[in-house]
């Protein structure tokens, strides 16, 4: 018998159900040839004892394999690998001596200067990962979502929606989003002002595509959300950088730039600036709104984690004030749920949103109808609001703890300001601790720093990174601080 105990590792904290994990691992063993056609599986009791799970879990896993035609049941004998495996083996028209079709580089011309995102390093099970500031998946309301999923799958209305053309999101989610944003942000919008997207990143890309032409100038912060920079640059725009201080972007510098040259767009994150987490002061907001109306300046306001605030009440977004229809407001439900739930929104004037919907259809003909309907119900029943309240309390405690640990053990190496909210710290290392050496040293010690790092080229002067604390447990935080203390001695 194969050593199933070592071949099938069950991850208790995985969002994937245990029976499905086991089924997937067994399918992998079949595909690898370790379980050949005709080989019998252990009985459900036996495999349950080997893996330390309930027998019903193994029965469910075997049922999943049967549904997918990987196994067959023989009366009074047991379950074995199917003789006719569900693997498609197409006939090949490849002639002898020919190379495999995709083993040669493309010989046609194409864009080859697209700015990418560095791949994650290969992780070990023992590694501690510090991300860019993502929600803790252990807190994600999977049970509530699954409940809503089941409801939708049983309804007739969903089947109609799945075959209909997308009009910027399902009507139910647009209604719920309108209710949610009007209540929490004072936007005073209706459905015609809303586009549902697959995350805030898609919203940024669509908005910029409708506004920018090659050669246009875009005001961005210094430092700025690097993916937004990459989007604008790829569209041929020229970036004009504005310093960021303790009160947010320097509005006087914005005014000077507007006086000197034609600016086509301002990209701003006034609430919890990315990467520095600072919140723009009220006085700067008032002056900025005056400039927006005076210069009829189009603005993308990125408000990716507005709902997480700890020290006081959040400041309402620019979009909630009088701005002459010039502010495109972008946010994300992803930060409220888990990184893999890709749902965001764009808010703007009705005529702009109509064109944004047309553009979205060119790259995404239909949204995730099932997820949209499930989320809509979570909003209208109050489940999402209760989840936000619960998460806020936990994240606030984690923010307090990590700040305390850094002050006690790492003040010789880093500086930071405690944020008013959000899920990350802006951690600046002293110049004698360059991130170019800190990051690889941390990796060799089992600490993977995946937060956006600003220490190369024009960003060398910042020598800082986003330290996502929201998904770290107390034990993890202590280990992180221990490792950073050791490598900065």
Domain boundary (330, 354, 381) is at 381
We report the CATH number of the domain holding residue 272 as: 3.40.640.10
Helices 369-380 and 383-409: crossing angle in degrees, nearest 10, is 90
We report the CATH number of the domain holding residue 52 as: 1.10.10.10
**Do 457 and 478 belong together in one domain?**
yes
Task: Outline where 369-456 has alpha helix (H).
Answer: 369-380, 383-409, 435-444
**Do 325 and 444 belong together in one domain?**
no
pLDDT average per 10 residues of sequence, the chain (489 residues): 85 86 90 85 92 93 89 89 68 59 75 69 78 90 85 71 78 93 91 94 96 97 95 95 95 97 96 94 95 96 89 83 94 85 92 95 85 91 92 94 96 93 94 94 93 90 95 94 94
Among 133, 137, 121, residue whose Cα is nearest residue 446: 121
Among 378, 456, 441, residue whose Cα is nearest residue 140: 378
- Provide the pLDDT for residue 352: 96
- Provide the pLDDT for residue 255: 97
We report the CATH number of the domain holding residue 431 as: 3.90.1150.10
Between CA 367 and CA 158 the distance in angstroms is 13
Q: What tokens appear for 52 in the block?
A: 């330390």
**Do 323 and 219 belong together in one domain?**
yes
**Do 69 and 46 belong together in one domain?**
yes
Domain of residue 354, residue span: 159-381
Confirm whether 94 is domain-assigned: no
**130: enclosing H helix or E strand:** strand 128-130
**Do 357 and 395 belong together in one domain?**
no
Confirm whether 396 is domain-assigned: yes
For 146-189, give the DSSP string: HHHHHHHHT-SHHHHHHTSPPSSS-HHHHHHHHHHHHHHH----
Between CA 336 and CA 342 the distance in angstroms is 11
Confirm whether 254 is domain-assigned: yes
**Do 314 and 425 belong together in one domain?**
no
Confirm whether 111 is domain-assigned: no
Based on the structure, what is the number of domains in the chain? 3
Confirm whether 112 is domain-assigned: no
The pTM (predicted TM-score) of the whole model is 0.77
**Do 185 and 222 belong together in one domain?**
yes
- Provide the pLDDT for residue 161: 67
Angle CA 15–20–23, to nearest 5: 145
Among 470, 307, 479, residue whose Cα is nearest residue 394: 470
Confirm whether 109 is domain-assigned: no
**Do 35 and 71 belong together in one domain?**
yes
**Do 393 and 375 belong together in one domain?**
no
**Do 359 and 455 belong together in one domain?**
no
Confirm whether 106 is domain-assigned: no
3-class SS at 78? strand
Confirm whether 145 is domain-assigned: no
**Do 19 and 49 belong together in one domain?**
yes
**Do 362 and 228 belong together in one domain?**
yes
- Provide the pLDDT for residue 76: 83
């Amino acid at each position: 018998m194969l050593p199933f105990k070592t071949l099938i590792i069950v991850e208790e904290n995985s969002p994937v159900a245990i029976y499905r994990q086991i089924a997937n691992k067994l399918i992998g063993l079949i595909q690898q040839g370790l379980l050949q056609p005709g080989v019998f599986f252990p009985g459900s009791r036996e495999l349950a004892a080997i893996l330390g799970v309930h027998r019903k879990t193994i029965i469910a896993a075997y049922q999943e394999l049967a549904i997918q035609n990987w196994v067959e049941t023989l009366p009074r004998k047991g379950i074995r690998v199917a003789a006719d495996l569900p693997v498609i083996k197409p006939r090949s028209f490849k002639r002898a001596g020919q190379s495999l079709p995709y083993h040669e580089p493309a010989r046609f011309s194409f864009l080859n200067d697209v700015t990418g995102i560095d791949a994650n390093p290969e992780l070990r099970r023992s590694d501690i990962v510090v991300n860019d500031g993502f929600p803790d998946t252990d807190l994600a309301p999977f049970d509530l979502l699954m409940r809503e999923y089941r409801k939708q799958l049983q309804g007739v209305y969903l089947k109609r929606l799945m075959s209909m053309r997308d009009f910027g999101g399902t009507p139910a989610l647009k209604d719920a989003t309108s209710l949610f944003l009007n209540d929490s942000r004072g936007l005073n919008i209706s459905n015609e002002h809303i586009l549902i997207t697959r995350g805030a990143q898609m919203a940024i890309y669509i908005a910029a595509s409708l506004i920018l032409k090659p050669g246009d100038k875009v005001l961005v912060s210094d430092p700025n959300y690097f993916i937004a920079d990459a989007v604008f640059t790829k569209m041929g725009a020229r970036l004009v950088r504005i310093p960021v201080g303790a009160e947010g972007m320097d509005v006087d510098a914005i005014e000077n730039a507007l006086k000197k040259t034609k600016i086509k767009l301002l990209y701003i994150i006034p609430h919890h600036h990315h990467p520095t987490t600072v919140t723009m002061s009220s006085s700067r907001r008032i002056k900025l709104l005056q400039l927006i109306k005076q210069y009829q300046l189009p603005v993308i306001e990125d408000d990716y984690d507005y709902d997480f605030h700890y020290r006081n009440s959040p400041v309402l977004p620019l979009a909630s004030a009088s701005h002459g229809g010039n502010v495109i407001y972008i946010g994300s439900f992803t930060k409220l749920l888990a990184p893999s739930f890709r749902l965001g929104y764009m808010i703007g004037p009705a005529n702009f949103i109509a064109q944004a919907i047309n553009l979205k259809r060119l790259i995404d003909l239909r949204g995730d109808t099932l997820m949209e309907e499930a989320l809509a119900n979570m909003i209208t029943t109050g489940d999402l609001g209760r989840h936000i309240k619960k998460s806020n309390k936990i994240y606030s405690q984690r923010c307090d703890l990590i700040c305390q640990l850094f002050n006690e053990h790492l003040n010789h190496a880093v500086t930071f300001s405690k944020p008013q909210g959000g899920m990350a710290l802006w951690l600046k290392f002293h110049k004698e601790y360059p991130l170019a050496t800190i990051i690889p040293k941390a990796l060799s010690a089992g600490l993977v720093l995946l937060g956006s790092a600003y220490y190369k080229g024009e960003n060398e002067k910042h020598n800082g990174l986003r330290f996502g604390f929201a998904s770290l447990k107390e034990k993890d935080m202590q280990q992180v601080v221990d490792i950073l203390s050791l490598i900065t001695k």
